[in-house]
Amino acid sequence: MQKNLNVKSFDGVELNTTIDTPSDVKAVIVIVHGLCEHQGRYERLVKKLTDHRYKVYRFDQRGHGKSGGERYFYSTKDEIIDDCNAIVDFAKSENPNHKIYVIGHSMGGFAVAAFGTKYPDKVDGIVISGGLTRDNNQMLSQVGPEIPPETQIPNELGDGVCSNPDVVSAYVADPLNGKFFTAGLAQQIAAGIQWLTENPTFNYPVLLIHGERDALVNPQDSRDFFAQIPSTDRQIKIYGGACHEVFNEYIQDEVMSDVIHWIDYRL
């Protein structure tokens, strides 16, 4: 069963949210998407999760997809973190007797890493896919503070999202994917990554997954985060030959199975 609704975040911004519920629920998963994309790009992953009896919550980040907020803009580093927290709180309120896990991809990987740092002891485990946790490629940090926050930067991520040309073509053609992001978004995520680096207190069970050939988010981001956090239950897997979107890569079934097995083991 699928349901779509708007969930109000901490400041009243409405986050468009989809809930997929199997007939028998064993746990709950919240999915957090990446920069300039939207929740609809995770249908295949959601299907795999619901087939394994996971109830799934996914939402469009503020300024993305069908959610409210200024387009592809953040005014503080905490907005993306606290939006994630709002959806987690909503999922917890609806499922008080089930364990909750969070999966974040790319910029969403930053969001869930920062959520886990700011909000300890709220969920039962976190999966970070191609997570922008250190910005070793300096994709965002090069957008300096002298650039006006409202400045629009063209979205040129398309060719790097996946090695599958059909995925790339669909990404470029998708009207819900952003054609730009703002300097304000880049500046605030960069500030958030700096804060994350200076506060390596993340202590959740965590699985980090990354494509070896990821040209958008350096795999070293995941390696650095893995090495610096105090979590004793932490695993990392780098998929050889894979690009950024490991859930859409040629090894997608292996990746999804790895995630499901990791969560299953911790129920």
Beta pairing, strands 54-59 & 27-32: parallel
pTM above 0.75, yes or no: yes
Dist CA 190 CA 170 (whole Å) = 28
Q: Could you list the pLDDT tens digit for every one of the 267 residues in the chain?
A: 999 999 999 999 999 999 999 999 999 999 999 999 999 999 999 999 999 999 999 999 999 999 999 999 999 999 999 999 999 999 999 999 999 999 999 999 999 999 999 999 999 999 999 999 999 998 888 899 999 999 999 998 777 899 999 999 999 999 999 999 999 999 999 999 999 999 999 999 999 999 999 999 999 999 999 999 999 999 999 999 999 999 999 999 999 999 999 999 999
Place of tokens 């050889």: 240
| pLDDT score of 142 | 86
Identify the structural domains of the chain with CATH numbers, from first to last: 2-265 (3.40.50.1820)
Exposure string over 188-225, b if 16+ CB within 10 A, otherwise e:
bbbbbbeebeeeeebbbbbbbbbbebbebbbbebbbbb
Residue 216 near residue 139 (C-beta atoms within 8 A): yes
Q: CA angle 168-44-243, nearest 5°?
A: 40
